[in-house]
Amino acid sequence: MIASASHPFLSVVYNRPTTHPRVRPQTSLGWLDRLLSTSNIVPLLHIDLALDTAHPHCLQRWPSLVSKITFSSLPLLSSASVVRHNPLSTPTPLRHLSLSLNMPVAQALPPLFRHLQQLPAALFPSDVSTADSGGSTRSYWRRKPVRDSARNPAVITLDWVPSLSSIPAAIQRYRARVGQATIFRRHRVRIPAPSRPDFGVIAPGFRRHRVRILAQSRLDSGRAIAFGFRPPASDHDRRQWSAATDRRVASGDEARSRMASMLSISVLLLLLLLLSWFTPISSHPLDPLTPAGIATVRRVILSSPLAASSASFAFHYVGLDEPDKAQVLSWLHRHPPRRALVLARADGETHELVVDVGLAALISDRVHRGAGFPILTLEEQAAAVSLPLSYPPFVESVRRRGVALADVVCSTFTKGWFGEAGRARRRLVVACFVAGETVNLYVRPIEGVTVLVDLDEMRIVEYRDRVAPPVPKAEGTDYRASTKNLPWSKPGAVLQPAGKGFQVDGHFIRWSNWEFHLSYDVRAGLIVSLASVHDAQKSTSRRVLYRGFVSELFVPYMDPVEEWYFRTFFDSGEYGFGLWASPLQPAADCPANAEYIDGYYAGQDGKPVKLPQVFCIFERNSGDVAWRHTEFGFPGQLIREVEPEVSLVVRMVAALGNYDYVTDWEFKASGSIKVVVSLTGILEVKGTNYTHADQIPAGLDPHGSLLAENTMAIYHDHFITYHLDLDIDGSNNTFVKSKLKPTRVTGGSVPRRSYWTVVREEAKTEADARVEMGSVPAELLVVNPNKKTKMGNAVGYRLISNSAPAASLLADDDYPETRAGYLKKQVWVTPYNKSEKWAAGLYVDNSRGDDTLEIWSQRAIENTDIVLWHTVGFHHIPYQEDFPVMPLLSGGFELRPSNFFESNPLMNSSATGQVYPNCTCIA
């Protein structure tokens, strides 16, 4: 490698292996120390990690690797910063850690090598011998014989170059030293234009040599001086190298005088370049905001004129303002700004604010003038539910029902929109329940009472006590294990003698042939991104899913009476699917072999709040079979092969009021992704005078099922809509419907009269891709028409529903249906747009259906970047087995490879248990 800059550099380069088992630097460092001391500058120490970029695992774990090197080298440093050295044109990027030395170079190298030895052995499967006490650089890498040379680094190279006066000359010098006269013939030298003081790259695709020329400016402060490359391979090259070295040393005195006058300017320009072009690499662009990031956002906004001039100010949503997909996929080349999106309420208005977290600056502030409001905060809901307890009319209603006020617990219910004209107010209904002898408060409603609260004024604006049926009994409703004696409730043991088979590196998860990014959002909850599967037959990782999450959860109840008609909840957009995520209980919510990840969100005051153990990750081996076959066809021989199924599961539980939603993302070694959502918890019931089903008059619609005395569980729906941004082997995809068409046999040559065949329909526009599942037998696929298998089939994945299809049955002119009209179809396809994340719109509370998946424009979706939206639905008719607590009711879907692989990936022994030794780095 030749490094060039406008001031001296010392580079330590970890290279891919050469054919030589040892590399010996040949030059003393004493002259370098003397030169640096006379020039009165502080050199920079550069560490290049030339990881195997054929595997994205290495690139995605760069932040944790930087952290390890930074902290291991701190005793040597006067300062440290992370910078990036990657041109936009580089197909194989590298990463650099820039460290300032505070001691002479010869003294710094031995302890630095000792610190580098402390790095994970799997990352650098070599060991370093340090320099001798005289300061000589007789340091070299010793390594054991490498079987797979493509995965093991072997070379450490030291360079010091005050400047680069001639790039062609530098190439010639490199050729002379390494003795590879032909290695540059197949690769073009990329040199940036003078107006772009970026970096050029030579031969970025090398396997034996990683070469780069850093051309930061056109300042010419001296001839190039280099050392530390391996000796030339031939006598001719050795003579060339010796002569070149003599010329460089002879010109040193002459160059030094010119260099001294330029150094101060050069160093200043370099610092300006670093500040202008480099962004510190502290996290992946899709990592959620950290507590420090949330605190920065809070500080920036509270110090802004908006907050200073507002009598009331509240944070309702603080989340990552994710970069555009193109920026994320190329972030190793140019790190995008890290920004946060904030939805806040100030003096009765909703503000959309964007904060640059890295710069700690407010980028924009826009007032939302349309319909709808952001998600409710926990703090304002807590304030609202306390109001009835001190409201005299409500206290009197409780007294008349013979209930102790101390036993009353209240909850919030969004009011929705039912055609009201004009600008809406932020109002919700508070409904109350009786606990008393049970914690199962939802099965003991104070029926007939409606309390309407204005959230901005935080006061009761309407109260009505219409009917007073009996409060249901508490007997037999407590579900706590301490009140039961269940012999089957003891947790089982999970044994993994070899340890866990997955690795968690920051927000990246790696298991078997899968790797993906996992993050938390206060509205979406669990977000899976950048899911790629390793194709052992092609020895590469291939993209499958760019981003997937719960976009909306709609739960409408089917009782039109005054106290119930408005109960049409958008649990994600109104309450926050992630905000109500429940901490997971080890050995109960997740097995004993699970690993947990915490989440963080911003409270109403903007301060970070920790959600401990919000996700769990575990391997599932439940006795299922991945594949099997028994063959009886060979006389006297029985052939039986069985492959047990082991999968990786990521789980989150959202406890939204009375219901708990268990959401699983299951990754299989076969290449499938199985998504399951399970409902459990407490039914929402209505107090009634009926104590037996026979008391309900014939012809009367009770709107529910009588489950216990005075307890009517209301019919309702659950619609969970997933946002699935599939990138099947690339971004440009096409949606295909493979319809099954019955066909008559003609000709009469055989007695068979019918069969079915497949008719493929490619969706051209969004309207072509709207599917009501079950109406026509068909398979639904997302394919990449630009990638084919060896057999000529377009690679793809298909959507397989694992539950009975359910669509909304509400009338088209009903107001809840206006707000959720997309639920008439279970599948929608739209072109990628990072702002189109929420099926019911960004502002859902009191929304009017003018920003939903249904009304987005008619756009082309053929062979472009598309997003698939799929709704898992349940029409829920309650039964007595659902009382007093409901067992899990599950549904979901599977994304299954369809001509994605050349054959069954489980047949390749290297398809599972992949080991990437250069990439293992657990921070």
Distance (Å, whole) CA 247 – CA 260? 20
Distance (Å, whole) CA 720 – CA 806? 11
Which residue in the list 174, 557, 659, 822 is annotated as catalytic?
Answer: 659
8 A C-beta contact, residue 93 and residue 60: no
Q: Would strands 427-434 and 449-454 be described as parallel, antiparallel, or unpaired?
A: antiparallel
8 A C-beta contact, residue 610 and residue 600: yes
> CA 126 → CA 129, 131, 495, 638, distances in Å?
10, 16, 33, 48
Q: Is 539 left (phi over 0), alpha (psi -120 to 50) or beta?
A: left
**Closest to 819 in 3D by CA, of 569, 560, 577:** 569
| CA diameter of the chain | 110
Q: Using only C-alpha atoms, what is the Rg of the chain?
A: 33
814: DSSP letter: S
Q: Would strands 508-511 and 685-687 be described as parallel, antiparallel, or unpaired?
A: unpaired
Distance (Å, whole) CA 591 – CA 646? 14
Distance (Å, whole) CA 591 – CA 585? 9
Contacts of 544 (CB under 8 A, 6+ apart): 531, 532, 533, 671, 673, 726, 727, 728, 797, 895
Q: What is the DSSP string of 484-541?
A: ---TT-SPPP---TT--SEEEETTEEEETTEEEEEEEETTTEEEEEEEEEEETTTTEE
Q: Would strands 449-454 and 127-129 be described as parallel, antiparallel, or unpaired?
A: unpaired
Which sign does the torsion angle of CA 570, 571, 574, 576 carry? negative
8 A C-beta contact, residue 912 and residue 512: yes
Distance (Å, whole) CA 336 – CA 281? 10
264: DSSP letter: H
End-to-end distance of the chain based on CA atoms, in angstroms? Answer: 29
Residues linked to residue 866 through DSSP beta bridges, in sequence order: 831
At residue 436's C-alpha, the angle toward residues 433 and 437, to 5°, is: 130
Q: Is 659 a catalytic residue?
A: yes
**Closest to 702 in 3D by CA, of 682, 711, 556:** 711
> CA 717 → CA 525, 569, 807, 882, distances in Å?
21, 10, 9, 15
571: DSSP letter: I
Tokens 């390890």 belong to 68
Distance (Å, whole) CA 156 – CA 20? 12
Which residue in the list 48, 571, 727, 882 is annotated as catalytic?
Answer: 571
8 A C-beta contact, residue 800 and residue 794: no
Q: Where are the alpha helices (DSSP H) in 304-441?
A: 305-308, 325-329, 378-386, 392-400
Distance (Å, whole) CA 397 – CA 401? 7
Q: What is the DSSP string of 727-763?
A: -TTSSEEEEEEEEEEEEE--SSSSS--EEEEEEEEE-
The amino acid present at 354, given as its one-letter code, is V
Distance (Å, whole) CA 458 – CA 228? 72
> CA 833 → CA 326, 830, 856, 861, 913, distances in Å?
11, 8, 11, 12, 36
- Active-site residue list: 571, 659
